[in-house]
Copies of this chain bind each other. A is one copy, B any other.
Amino acid sequence: MVNAQTRSTVLRVAQEVGYVANASARTLRTRSSKVLGVVLPTLTNPVFAECLQGIASQAALRGYAISPCTTEYDHAGEDAATTRLLASGVDALVLVVSNPGDSAALARVRQAGKPYVLAYHHTHEHACVGVDNTGAVRELVLRLAAAGHSRIGMVTGQLQASDRAQQRCRGYALGMQAAGLSPLPVWEVPFAATAVQMLQHHLAEQAPPTAIVCSNDLLAIRTIRAASLAGFSVPADISVVGFDGIAMAGDLTPSLASISQPNHDIGSACVRLLCDALAGKKTLAAQESLCLPHGWRSGESCRL
């Protein structure tokens, strides 16, 4: 309700003097920052970087800025990141935590009363967007078994640092059971570079697996390296499969076979849920959770 004449004049002058609205003042007054907080374990794992791209582009579409924070897989880091974001006045949060069950950070967010959604998780206690980790691995193990593999192994990162890893290991156990095979002990390795040595050591066992399922792509890359160092050829001696479907997988040699997650879509779906909730001034219910379909990215690392 302003004269077109006046409007254009104001706009022109604003342009001329390079006026930009002060976000802090606006936030203070409106009690809404138009910023979404994002809590991720790390950005050096491309999975999360890809997801963040999805978050960023969708947020931009809906007129929101984002504020990403990493926890480095650390419990205290999760807490620090959430506290900081909450204090900075974000309107809502996307989180990837170690374990939603015992997360102090999550409790804090919940208490703050802001809408939030967990990415990559899968629990009935919170609104989540992810894939069926357990089902995906179970299905893969069955396919490997059908292809003739009987000694199928599993490699995972530190289980306590990720409920996703736990679910994937569960899928391994279920798959082996369904295939009538006896599961091998899961190889749990640290995130550090020592993982390769450790895997190499495991592979030196008599009768190593002929197929190895890894709980993420970065681990799969290290498993391939360990196999190579141990004198095995991939996939001739050992098939290796990852989980995540990071973009780089297809550029590796051998190309990496992987259960792929729609990382970009997981991110954008999270933002969509949050923005819809914010638009309706509602908080997000666990019922709103989305289980997105996983895919299969075939690759030379796996004989199937």
Contact = CB atoms under 8 A, between A and B. Distances in A.
B196 A225 contact: no
Interface stretch (A3-11, A62-70, A96-104, A274-282): A62-70
A22 B89 contact: yes
Contacts of A89: 22-24
Interface stretch (A132-140, A153-161, A251-259): A251-259
Contacts of A24: 23-25, 27-28, 33, 89
A2 interface: no
A265 interface: no
A196 B252 CA distance: 11
Contact of A225 (B43, B67, B255): B255
A87 B255 CA distance: 44
A43 B49 contact: yes
Contact of A65 (B44, B70, B88, B253): B88
A201 interface: no
A27 B27 CA distance: 11
Nearest to A25: B28
A222 B49 CA distance: 19
Interface in A189-238: 193, 196, 218, 221-222, 224-225, 228, 234
A182 to B, nearest CB: 30
Nearest to A29: B24
A65 B250 CA distance: 36
A20 B108 CA distance: 12
A302 interface: no
A251 B70 contact: no
Chain A, interface residues (CB within 8 Å), range: 35 or more
Contacts of A111: 18
Interface string A38-56: 0000111010011011001
Contacts of A186: none
Given A44-B50, A49-B43, A49-B49, A23 B88 contact: yes
A247 interface: yes
A44 B53 contact: yes
Contacts of A234: 253
Contacts of A22: 28, 87, 89
A200 B27 CA distance: 53
A177 interface: no
Contacts of A49: 42-44, 49
A87 B20 contact: yes
B221 A252 contact: yes
Closest 6 interchain pairs by CB? A24-B27, A43-B49, A24-B24, A20-B87, A24-B28, A228-B253
